[in-house]
Structure 1
Amino acid sequence: MNLYQSLGYLVLGSRLRRLSEGFLAEINRAYQNEGIDFDASWFPVFYLLSKNNSLSIKELSEQTEVSHPAASQLITNLKNKKLVTSATCADDGRRQLVQLTDSGRELLTQILPIWDAILLAMDDVLSNDEACKQLLPSISALENAFRSANLADRISDKLNIELKAEAHE
């Protein structure tokens, strides 16, 4: 058992970050192996825009569950690469509607087979291990638990209970 495994929940965030970084690096390598200039961090925006003609930055932010500034920064980066464009909404001049450019749509046609291959490869990786098959349901359950219970408050409560118990000893 390595250090991370032995420390359990104390390093959950670090383990998840390491797992995420390793996974994304492999996905990016798969794009590179196919000669496709695409970064896995762009996936949520590309996926949403592949399903919608246009979305506002606010909608992208809400659907990807990232802050508005983070979504705006990603859109700016994709604009600089000429993969998306934005225009002022006719109904509401404050809203910017984002859509794929012709180059973005061309890139989308190149990456769609990669997405299918990712799903198939992950099915292969996970198919022989029952615990691995529970990964996505377990992550969803943990996300839901964190949404319904403020972890920082729970930690403070535990500390307060300990302090009160020590005071009574």
Structure 2
Amino acid sequence: MNLYQSLGHLVLGSRLRRLSEAFLAEINRAYQTAGIDFDASWFPVFYLLSKNDALSIKELSEQIEVSHPAASQLITNLKKRGLVSTDTCSDDGRRQLVTLTAEGRELLKQVIPVWDAISLSMADLVAKDETAKQLLPAISALENTFRQTKLADNIVEKLNTNLKPAGND
């Protein structure tokens, strides 16, 4: 058992980050090997725009569950690469609608087969291990729990009720 495994929930965030970084590095390596200039961090925007002609930055941020500034920064980076464009919404001048450019649509055509291969590869990997099959449902359950519970408040409550102040022996 390594250090991370032995520390349990104390390092949950670190383990998830390490797993995510390793997974995304492998995905990016697959894109590179296929000769496709695509970054895995762009996936949510490309996926949503593949299903919708245009979305506002607010709609994107809500659907990918990131802050509006984070979504805006991602869109700015994609605009600099010429992959998306933004136009002011005709019925609400405050809203910016994001669409794929011709170059973005061409890139989308290249990445869709990679997405299919990722899905098939992950299904193959997970099928080999009964516990791995439970990963996505477990993550969903934990996400739902975090939405319903303020972890920091729970921790502070535990501090206040279960721990004695230091030096009171």
TM bracket (short chain): over 0.9
Structure 2 gap ranges (5+): none
User: How much does 1:164 deviate?
Assistant: 6.5
Distance 2:164 2:90 in 1: 60
Distance 1:63 1:32 in 2: 27
Q: Which amino acid aligns with 1:101?
A: T
Match of 1:137 in 2: 137
Match of 1:20 in 2: 20
Q: Percent of aligned positions with the same letter in both sequences?
A: 74
Task: Please give the secondary structure, in 2, of the residue aligned with 1:91.
Answer: coil
Q: Which amino acid aligns with 2:141?
A: A
Q: Which amino acid aligns with 2:87?
A: A
Q: How many residues align?
A: 167
Match of 2:61 in 1: 61
User: How much does 1:162 deviate?
Assistant: 1.5
Structure 1 gap ranges (5+): none
Under a length normalisation based on structure 2, what TM-score does the superposition of the two structures give?
0.96
Greater than 2 Å deviation, 4+ residue runs: 163-166
Match of 1:86 in 2: 86
RMSD: 1.3
Distance 1:9 1:162 in 2: 18
Match of 1:44 in 2: 44
The Cα offsets for residues 78-135 of structure 1, whole Å up to 9 and x where unpaired, read as 0000000000000000000000000000000000000000000001111111000000
Match of 1:96 in 2: 96
Q: Which amino acid aligns with 1:96?
A: Q
Which deviates the most, 157-166 or 126-135? 157-166
Match of 1:77 in 2: 77
